[in-house]
Amino acid sequence: MRENFTVADLAVGDATLHVRHGGEGPPVLLLHGHPRTGATWHRVAPRLVAAGFGVVCPDLTGYGRSAGRATSPDHNAHSKRAVAGDMAQLMSALGHDRFHVIGHDRGSYVALRLALDHGHRVDHLVLMDCIPISEHLARADARFATMWWHWFFFAQPGTPERVINADPDAWYLGDPETMGAENHAEWRHAIHNPQVVRAMLEDYRAGLTVDRAHEEADRAAGRRLQCPLLVLWSLRDDLEELYGDPLEIWREWAADLRGHGIDCGHHMAEEAPGALADAVTNFFPPPTGSPLRTIAPRLA
């Protein structure tokens, strides 16, 4: 990515986003999860470019090298609505009116909000290891609280900052061999920045408050995704263990739905880049001039 992609810092409203972009063809916006940066896509983005797509890999607002806005008591400054608005402005600044979106982990919640709030701009949506935040919380029980306890720990005021910043390496446990050396170095630089840690925690605090409220308002209003949705999940992670088939939950949110599991752990872009790239390129319409492909979608 360093050799074939343009790297820039672009002012977007009251944030400055660090972004890599490259390739020609239909644009694809890739949104990483916690605690990664846009470098997590380093094994996927070149595959998408080779398949005929343009790719845009930002650091989410406040993550990595993207300078975020000041925190707010109501957490709106770090809400998925605010960050999705940043991503929409970024794509406009790069000259992309319509685009595909891929989101993983926390980035998947931003991608969902982008498709709900800016649906006229999103052609196809891919969500990885994700059900809506409100759906998680509606089903929260002792097992969920035990397995996903970090959601509630991160929501506490002040304490998680002190714990994480005392030894970020011990808290996050990154592996340079699995992640790739440069991706690991960039990630490690980010987690040692207390401002980044604070922004990442504000992401979770917004999730339990304002983001949940926004999703519940969507459901009350009967809003659904208007674009085709592909849901992918890691077979060696815990989404199926918690909920069974994630598509059963997503049917209430999307009319055009398909999805399947991929045999890997949680960080799919790093652990199974080939399977991930194949899944999304078979889901997206072929770029102009590309050979026709036989697609066998898993329709819900």
Is 34 part of any domain? yes
Given this model, what pLDDT does residue 136 score? 97
Is 293 part of any domain? no
Q: Supply the range of the domain harboring residue 262.
A: 6-283
Given this model, what pLDDT does residue 110 score? 98
List, by residue number, the catalytic residues. 105, 266
Judge whether 254 and 119 are in contact, CB under 8 Å. no
Given this model, what pLDDT does residue 17 score? 98
Q: What are the CB-based long-range contacts (under 8 Å, 24+) for 175-182?
A: 178/267, 178/270, 178/271, 179/40, 179/267, 179/270, 180/42, 180/43, 180/270, 182/2, 182/39, 182/42
| Local confidence pLDDT in tens for the 300 residues of the chain | 667 899 999 999 899 999 999 999 999 999 999 999 999 999 999 999 999 999 999 999 999 999 988 999 999 999 999 999 999 999 999 999 999 999 999 999 999 999 999 999 999 999 999 999 999 999 999 999 999 999 999 999 999 999 999 999 999 999 999 999 999 999 999 999 999 999 999 999 999 999 999 999 999 999 999 999 999 999 999 999 999 999 999 999 999 999 999 999 999 999 999 999 999 999 999 997 554 333 333 332
Number of domains making up the chain:
1
The label of the residue with tokens 């872009």 reads 269
Given this model, what pLDDT does residue 295 score? 32
Is 101 part of any domain? yes
Q: How many helices (H) and strands (E) does the chain have?
A: 16, 8
Nearest to 197 by CA among 78, 107, 108: 78
Is 1 part of any domain? no
CATH code at position 95 = 3.40.50.1820
**What distance in Å separates the CA atoms of residue 255 and residue 176, rounded to the nearest whole number?**
40
What tokens appear for 170 in the block?
A: 């011990």
Given this model, what pLDDT does residue 299 score? 30
Is 180 part of any domain? yes
Is 115 part of any domain? yes
**Residue 149 CB coordination number (10 Å):** 10
Is 168 part of any domain? yes
Given this model, what pLDDT does residue 222 score? 95
Is 92 part of any domain? yes
